[in-house]
A = this chain, B = another copy of it.
Amino acid sequence: MALIDGARLLADLHSLRDFGRFKTGVHRPTLSDQDIASRRWLASRLEAAGLEARIDGIASVYGFTRNAGKRLLIGSHLESQNESGWLDGALGVMFGLEVARALPHLPIDVAAWVDEEGHYGNFLGARSFLGEVTDSEIDAAANRTTRESMRDGLARAGLAGVPRVTLDDADRYVGYLEAHIEQGDELEAKGLGIGVVTSIVGIWNFRIRFEGVQNHAGTTRMAIRKDARVAMTRLANRIDDTFPSVIAERSVWTIGRMSLDPNAPSIVPGGAEMNVQFRDADPAVLDRLEAHLRSLVAEADAAGPCRVSIAVAAKTIPKVMDGGFQDALAAAAGHRAPGSWQRMPSGAGHDAQMLALRMKAGMLFVPSIGGISHHWTEDTKEEDIVRGCTVLADAAEAILSQS
């Protein structure tokens, strides 16, 4: 049985919150000055824990064990969404640090994968570790808010020319564990303290574009308008009205981004664009939702007067977590939180879905108060944080003892 230091863990989490603190949350976008400072701080904490710390050429932070044997990798990410919560990502990294400190005799590596939150790209840190990010992908990456190139951001961080860490031999690792806040309200609603993740949902993103004719909002008769806004809000409502009849029990869909061109009160918009995203753990459900969405787009385009087109923005496939890792987490949860845990899918994407492509992976959830995340009010009870880390440490010890 591993013995973690709850007070030390909480103190480190609170220290990390000071990098980019925003109200009770953080604003710590990838490669912002506060993000870079948090990476240096993490490296110093990993060194202090006896690990060999390294910030690689894409700004992921590693703490390598000095112990012999096949290793267990534990991690998550440091950066946050804009003006967002203090635990999303940070919790998993600090759990990794604390588990490595609690089990100093075991071969445990800790990783903070850069840019899980997608300020520059798509799981850049985890994918870079797997050897799936080319130099030209980094050359082309730019911050979605500031438009700064990733190369300039890395240069600001003092990382220009620094080599990247890659997984040369997957056999070096027993596998990967990641802890995360649930980000939903299911554990809290059921009064549970631990979730053992069974799979991570697939996330399918589409860009839908509306082409009308820009015109004057006073002199253009209603009958001859080709108003891209009208076309967009009409399709958005068709999606809201019809998706309930095609989704599965846990499917979700979101239109979180919309834009009008030129977006002025006195101009009939000539162009519009929206992002439609849906998620499910079942590939057949994802296929069904895409077919339905494409039929709605075709119907809207045929109805006119605006042209409506759809393009895939990004798709991730659902990832099933390793059965043995699930069992190890479940056994630890059963011991530390008897009657207070369940197995459940993850509705959010996580670095674990990338690592799962090359090694066994497992994930643990702790509850989110009110189900809130991606907002500065995001929080988790201290007792749930400490218990979650204890369960992760027990599972890590069990997995390494069985390997």
Q: Which residues of A contact B (CB under 8 A)?
A: 81-83, 118, 182-186, 201, 203, 205, 213-222, 224, 227, 229-230, 232-234, 236-237, 240, 244, 250, 252-260, 262-270, 275, 277, 279, 313, 346-349, 368, 371-375
Contacts and interface: CB of A to CB of B under 8 A. Distances in A.
> Which of A81, A216, A346, A373 gathers most chain B CB within 10 Å?
A216
Contacts of A371: 215, 219-220, 224
Contacts of A214: 374-375
Contacts of A220: 183-185, 252, 347, 371
> Which of A258, A313, A347, A348 gathers most chain B CB within 10 Å?
A258
A265 B219 contact: no
| Complex copy number for this chain | 2
Given A219-B184, A233-B236, A256 B264 contact: yes
Given A229-B256, A230-B240, A258-B258, 10 more contacts: A184-B216, A185-B221, A218-B252, A219-B346, A221-B252, A224-B371, A229-B255, A233-B255, A256-B263, A256-B267
B373 A216 contact: yes
Nearest to A239: B233
B277 A266 contact: yes
A218 B236 contact: no
A371 B348 CA distance: 48
Nearest to A206: B265
Contacts of A253: 222
Contact of A254 (B217, B256, B262): B217
Nearest to A365: B219
Contacts of A255: 229, 233
Contacts of A216: 183-184, 347-348, 373-374
A265 B279 CA distance: 12
A251 to B, nearest CB: 8
A69 B403 CA distance: 104
B256 A257 contact: no
A81 B264 contact: yes
A312 to B, nearest CB: 13
Given A216-B374, A237-B234, A374-B214, A275 B270 contact: no
